[in-house]
Amino acid sequence: MEHEGQLKKKRVRRWSSPAHFSNKRKASIFGQDFTWEVKANDSDYHKQFKKSFLCWKRTKYSGNAINTAKYNILTFLPLNLYEQFHRIANLYFLFVILLQTIPEIATLPWFALLLPLACLLTIRGTRDLVDDIARHRSDRMINGRPCEILLGKSFCKKRWRDIQVGDIVCLQKDDFVPADLLLLASSEPSSLCYVETADIDGETNLKFRQALIITHKELVNTDKMAAFDGLVVCEEPNSRMHTFVGNLEWKGEKYALDSEKILLRGCRIRNTDTCYGLVIYAGFDSKIMKNCGKIKLKRTKLDKLMNKLVIIIFLMLVAVSFCLAVAYGFLVMDLKTRHSYLPAFYRNSSLAKEAFLSFWSFMILLSVIVPMSLYITFEFIYLANSCFINWDLEMYYSPLDMPAKARSTSLNDQLGQIEYIFSDKTGTLTQNIMTFKKCCISGLTYGTDENSGESLEAVSLSWNKYADGKLVFYDPTLLIAIKADEDKTVREFWQLLALCHTVMVEEKDGQLVYQAASPDEEALVTAARNFGYVFLSRTQDTITTSELGVEKTYQVLAMMDFNSVRKRMSVLLRDPDGTIRLYTKGADTVIFERLRPGCPNELATEKALDTFAEETLRTLCLASKEVDEEAYREWNKRYHEAHILLQNRAQALHAVYEDMEKDLKLLGATAIEDKLQDGVPDTIHLLKKGNIKVWVLTGDKQETAVNIGFACRLLSDDMEILDEKDIYGILEAYWESNNNLRSVQNSGPKLQQPHSKMALVVTGDFLDKLLLQSGEEQARTKKSNLLTRGGWPCGAQQVQEDLAIRRERSFVDLATKCQAVICCRVTPKQKALIVQLVKKYQQVTTLAIGDGANDVNMIKTADIGVGISGQEGMQAVQCSDYALAQFAYLQRLLLVHGRWSYLRISKFLRYFFYKTFASMMVQIWFAFYSGFTAQSLYEGWFLAFFNIFYTAYPVLSMGLLEQDMNAKKCLEFPELYSVGQKNQLFNYWVFFVALAHGTATSLVNFYVALWAFNDFAGPGSICDYQSFAVTVATSALLSVIAEIAMDIKFWTILSILAVLSSVILYSLMSFLTQNFFISHVAPTMFRFPDASRNALTEPYILLVVLLTVVVNTMPSLAVRLVYHMTAEPKPGKPYRDTQVEAGTVELKAHFQRGSTRRRSSYAFSHKEGYADLISGGASLRKKSSQVTQDPNQP
């Protein structure tokens, strides 16, 4: 036997070896090849599988340690420098510095440019390093979480990073799942395990997972788990969160595995004391990590534009330097011809060489037109504006002591250019708190709106010892009717809420704690509890309640669970008096169809439902009936026959349920509020008025998401909501036409309401079929292109790729023409895919906002990522660019800080280029009078200090403090936000206008001074080169200061001081650098002794400076005056949505407000509950002798 066991092991290893695996035996499940093998408790088994890339090989199975940081100790310096030199400006500066090292063409010391560049690289590198250190710290915290791993025959304390594929781990209550696990056993009955998946799909309600029966029965202690050698054969690691297909092979048998047997990394164990799992996917192979995108280098539109402008300026400098060098060559040739002694000076040099050296000298001389101080000032402005966001008390959330946080300091101006917002729902728009608000019983509506303006007092529930103290209800008439206990319908209404559900209950510290399959159901049972009808406990066939203090036990005869087809749930009970009753709750559409003819209060209840729907409350209808004993016996016989069928069991059960759920008596309706975060509707309304489109991408159900869409004013009453059938109709016409949506506008039937607004509601399955399929087609095409290069035909592949691109583009075109888009049941990867497609095909600026780990990929993909510090942890915040405590703060972040930042940066850039051109272009004009030599007109120290001291503070004050309106006005007129979306304040046109303006100013500065000095030449006059240079420099400085004084719209004391400081610093530094003593000590460095004092004490020179400033200023004043006189006032226009320009099929709203179908989408939107588990007794602990698995006991 022992020999046979060894042979069997050898056969298994030989069959699973890499060489044989690929061609001998590939596991085939449902026609697909599955190549991922996991063997329990055998680490050596997995080491034999290798992945190869070129000449490197590594283990196929990843470890569980993760690393989300960009750098490490070895890669930081080269990788960060590589990223920084992606900026064209940095390459330009490096090129000029290299030129400075050549003595023949150097005009400035090489270190004069190297130090500013080193300073710039250090500032940006330090910022990137600080961000990456935070990522390393987060990774260490996650990888260092404790866990228990089975080593040998006992569980040992280890860290998450020590987990390997094939290990068996032990998890306790409230632990996070460290890897994707196959559930083997748990301490719960039938090895159930309750998990919270908030970090994956945003839902905080509990879900259950259940182990295989074989592992539940066999793996009852540690010794048996240590001996477990099962082999799992399943699909390769992928990003599909809601699916899993595989088999467990053990003891010669195969057992099917699905997603209900898998615990995903990131889930949290709830209401389960202990559970055990086999690691299937670890680390980056886990599904949640497959959905997490890589860290991307984000750059703003202005940053990208600056790169292009630097190239333009460089080409301009090359052209100007070339022309001046050619002119220098011709001048030298002319002088050599006319002056016979000059050739002796050029004996060892040719004319071409002189022109070549002159060209590079001019390149260095004019390189200051793109000064490095621009980028250093840039970084300081970004940092200061980020601090303004951090210090804004209007975005401080006092309940959590949480201010806004700008985690990235280089994206502020992009906040003023957002066109699309992609938002999560649960925890971002909503608080995920369901509150019982109103109800209708026998046609009477109970409950008052707390915002009605009346002075209301909440009813007291102190008489009820089971009340949880959280319910706030303002209508005392309901409490009076309940306490009176005279109305049979009122009594049945609350009995139904306490009995018809699949809620689990346990007692903690003397308090009842409910756990439901949906927060809606928990809210209803809790409401019944607060009003005196308390669900106490349940067994497999009984439910115990306390009704107004009287404890009653009901016998459960049958439970008919909710699903998306039935849209209702029923429970058949025998009450303590022996009467059989059916209680049913569900959507109004299905309940009203099953009422007995002539049911009273039907019309009144329908009106109440309409009212509840208008208030965007989630509604549910309640009904009941008595069942006589004979009818029950006959029905129960058919029920058991259907229950034991092996084929079509579900359909047979549904038919039996239909027979019972008819001729019902209507009891009433409930209304639940899915509580939004404060200010969400107003925020979305303001953002829409600012021409920002808001899309909701959620992992929640479609009905819930649509309901929230109406509640937060994303959807409106007059919108037509397109469902998947309508979308397919439009897209099919698009594909057939092989053109854009506009071209097919006239090719088919028109829209019934051409001017109606449109909204799009799609599911993750729809996107899977439409988008992921096209993505896979493109991926296959790219791979096959490798073959086409070798001569294989590529026509069909090209057509396939074109079809895939057309499919993506058509969907994005349609979606972007709608006023609102809601995507439900989408995975984290699908969220990122949608953001990526909109960026790709619309070329727009996007923002993603979320609060959970399921939003991380979307946040990384968008141009701006905002993390909400919510109930789902801090994963989103750690990967975000900005962190907020509430969604409502987004309006101030964008409409105030974003708009101000864009305005400040744009005006800063325009003015910086203007002042640089105005002061430095004179070097070109001076070349015409200096023999085209690369001699500088200005004093060297003026060039060094011009951008650092003389003009830095006025332009810095503009970049930090400028406002065209205060924060209140920004929020009052959100339409003005579109300025940033259209790139109106800084673009190519603005740049070339600044170039023309600066060139004109430089011409005035130079030629007015030249004219004055020509006229003033003579004995006793001041007309030397140094005085001329001082005059031009002073004129240039005062002209640009006057220009910025006219351009500043928001004056503060700091702005005034900044302008005055420029003049003061110019006077002070001129005195210091032109002192006779210091010139005597270092004459080569200080070449203008007393030049400013000699020139600027002459009245004539002062009048020349004044004339120059006036001539430069008057045109600017005239242009501003004409603009203000001719420009018409632009009042805020009423927001008008863009119309859909497509009409190939007849579109009908499937979720119209006010209709019965519309109300149905509000009702009971949760997944199938725990009815099967309850009926089978699998989920219930026995009171008499509670059994808990203890693996340490043999």
The 10s digit of each residue's pLDDT in 405-423 is 888 888 899 999 999 999 9
* Confidence check: pLDDT of 20 > 50: no
Structure tokens, 926: 């001076």
* Confidence check: pLDDT of 804 > 50: yes
Confidence of residue 1180 (pLDDT cuts 50, 70, 90): low
State which amino acid sits at residue 118. Answer: A
**DSSP one-letter code for 566:** T
Sign of torsion over alpha carbons 675, 680, 685, 691: negative
Residue 15: predicted pLDDT: 34
Sign of torsion over alpha carbons 158, 162, 163, 168: negative
CB neighbourhood size of 475 (10 A)? 17
Helix, strand and coil in the chain, % to nearest 5: 50, 20, 35
- Return the half-sphere exposure (C-beta side, CA atoms, 13 A cut-off) of residue 554: 27
Q: What is the mean pLDDT of residues 274-296?
A: 84
Please say whether the beta carbons of 744 and 783 come within 8 A: no
The candidate with the shortest Cα–Cα distance to 1006, out of 920, 899, 1135, 889, is: 920
* Confidence check: pLDDT of 498 > 70: yes
Residue 185: predicted pLDDT: 92
Q: Give CA–CA dist 182/277, Å, rounded.
A: 5
Q: Give CA–CA dist 332/397, Å, rounded.
A: 73
Q: Give CA–CA dist 1049/1052, Å, rounded.
A: 10
Element (H, E) at 47: helix 43-47
HEC profile for 1161-1189?
A: CCCCCCCCCCHHHHHHCCCCCCCCCCCCC
Residue 108: predicted pLDDT: 62
Q: What is the mean pLDDT of residues 139-149?
A: 90
Highest mean pLDDT out of 116-130, 840-854, 900-914:
900-914
Residue 1134: predicted pLDDT: 41
Q: Give CA–CA dist 846/687, Å, rounded.
A: 13
* Confidence check: pLDDT of 456 > 50: yes
Contacts of 790 (CB under 8 A, 6+ apart): none
Contacts of 453 (CB under 8 A, 6+ apart): none
* Confidence check: pLDDT of 6 > 60: no
Q: Give CA–CA dist 886/869, Å, rounded.
A: 8
* Confidence check: pLDDT of 948 > 70: yes
Q: What is the mean pLDDT of residues 1018-1027?
A: 68
Question: Of 128, 424, 851, 863, which is the active-site residue?
Answer: 424
Question: b vs e for 16-48, b when ≥16 Cβ sit within 10 Å of the residue's Cβ?
Answer: beeeebeeeeebebeeeebebbbbbbeeebbee
* Confidence check: pLDDT of 782 > 90: no
Partners of 325 in the β-ladder: none
Please say whether the beta carbons of 666 and 954 come within 8 A: no
Element (H, E) at 1072: helix 1053-1073
Please say whether the beta carbons of 451 and 474 come within 8 A: no
Structure tokens, 168: 């068996």
Phi, psi of 1088 (to 5 degrees): -120, 60
Please say whether the beta carbons of 537 and 514 come within 8 A: no
Sign of torsion over alpha carbons 233, 237, 238, 241: positive
* Confidence check: pLDDT of 440 > 50: yes
Pairing mode, strands 846-850 and 420-423: parallel
Confidence of residue 197 (pLDDT cuts 50, 70, 90): confident
Q: What is the mean pLDDT of residues 69-77?
A: 87
* Confidence check: pLDDT of 610 > 70: yes
Contacts of 10 (CB under 8 A, 6+ apart): none
What is the chain's length? Answer: 1194
* Confidence check: pLDDT of 489 > 70: yes
Average pLDDT of the residues of the chain: 80
Element (H, E) at 590: helix 588-592
Question: b vs e for 750-784, b when ≥16 Cβ sit within 10 Å of the residue's Cβ?
Answer: ebeeeeebbbbbbbbebbeebbbebbebbeebeee
Residue 278: predicted pLDDT: 93
Q: What is the mean pLDDT of residues 682-688?
A: 91
* Distance of alpha carbon 862 from the chain centroid: 6
* Confidence check: pLDDT of 800 > 60: no
The candidate with the shortest Cα–Cα distance to 222, out of 280, 152, 272, 167, is: 152
Instruction: Check residues 923 and 1156 and name the one with the higher pLDDT.
Output: 923
The candidate with the shortest Cα–Cα distance to 868, out of 302, 235, 432, is: 432
Please say whether the beta carbons of 656 and 612 come within 8 A: no
The candidate with the shortest Cα–Cα distance to 287, out of 211, 174, 201, is: 201
Please say whether the beta carbons of 582 and 631 come within 8 A: no
Please say whether the beta carbons of 375 and 89 come within 8 A: yes
Residue 802: predicted pLDDT: 67
Residue 203: predicted pLDDT: 62
Q: Give CA–CA dist 993/795, Å, rounded.
A: 48
Pairing mode, strands 405-406 and 168-172: unpaired
Q: What is the mean pLDDT of residues 381-389?
A: 90
Q: Give CA–CA dist 274/262, Å, rounded.
A: 15
pLDDT, one tens digit per residue, over 1138-1150 is 333 333 322 233 3
* Confidence check: pLDDT of 870 > 80: no
Residue 191: predicted pLDDT: 84
Highest mean pLDDT out of 281-295, 544-558, 867-881:
544-558
Q: What is the mean pLDDT of residues 1125-1147?
A: 43
Question: b vs e for 293-331, b when ≥16 Cβ sit within 10 Å of the residue's Cβ?
Answer: beeeebbbbbbebbbebbeebbeebeebbeebbebbbeb
Residue 1113: predicted pLDDT: 92
Confidence of residue 664 (pLDDT cuts 50, 70, 90): very high
Least confident stretch, 103-117, 314-328, 936-950: 103-117
Residue 407: predicted pLDDT: 84
CB burial of residue 819 (10 Å; 0-12, 13-18, 19+): buried
Residue 28: predicted pLDDT: 44
Confidence of residue 747 (pLDDT cuts 50, 70, 90): very low
Structure tokens, 414: 């992009």
- The angle that helices 476-484 and 488-499 make with each other, rounded to 10 degrees, is 100
Residue 778: predicted pLDDT: 46
Q: Give CA–CA dist 949/733, Å, rounded.
A: 64
Highest mean pLDDT out of 422-426, 997-1001, 1063-1067:
997-1001
Residue 1155: predicted pLDDT: 41
Least confident stretch, 125-129, 168-172, 661-665: 125-129
Q: Which residue has the tokens 């060209």?
A: 359
Give the 3-state secondary structure of residue 715.
Answer: coil
* Distance of alpha carbon 21 from the chain centroid: 41
Residue 1071: predicted pLDDT: 83
Phi, psi of 1089 (to 5 degrees): -65, 125
* Distance of alpha carbon 96 from the chain centroid: 40
The candidate with the shortest Cα–Cα distance to 41, out of 206, 173, 232, is: 232
Highest mean pLDDT out of 85-89, 511-515, 1116-1120, 1128-1132:
1116-1120
Least confident stretch, 309-313, 494-498, 840-844, 947-951: 947-951
* Confidence check: pLDDT of 291 > 90: no
The candidate with the shortest Cα–Cα distance to 941, out of 279, 166, 112, is: 112
Q: Give CA–CA dist 977/664, Å, rounded.
A: 56
Residue 599: predicted pLDDT: 84
Confidence of residue 55 (pLDDT cuts 50, 70, 90): low
Q: Respond yes or no: is residue 424 known to be catalytic.
A: yes
Confidence of residue 791 (pLDDT cuts 50, 70, 90): very low
Residue 779: predicted pLDDT: 46
In order of 742, 766, 1141, 1150, the CA distances from 734 in angstroms are 9, 17, 12, 22
CB neighbourhood size of 636 (10 A)? 15
Instruction: Check residues 707 and 212 and name the one with the higher pLDDT.
Output: 212
In order of 382, 772, 997, the CA distances from 903 in angstroms are 13, 39, 20
Element (H, E) at 1077: helix 1076-1081
Residue 652: predicted pLDDT: 86
Q: What is the mean pLDDT of residues 90-115?
A: 74
Residue 639: predicted pLDDT: 87
Residue 944: predicted pLDDT: 76
Least confident stretch, 391-400, 548-557, 736-745: 736-745
CB burial of residue 1164 (10 Å; 0-12, 13-18, 19+): buried
pLDDT, one tens digit per residue, over 1068-1093 is 888 888 777 776 677 767 777 777 77
Q: How far apart are the first and last CA of the chain?
A: 24
Element (H, E) at 545: strand 542-547
Give me the percent of the chain exceeding a pLDDT of 70. Answer: 81
Contacts of 312 (CB under 8 A, 6+ apart): none
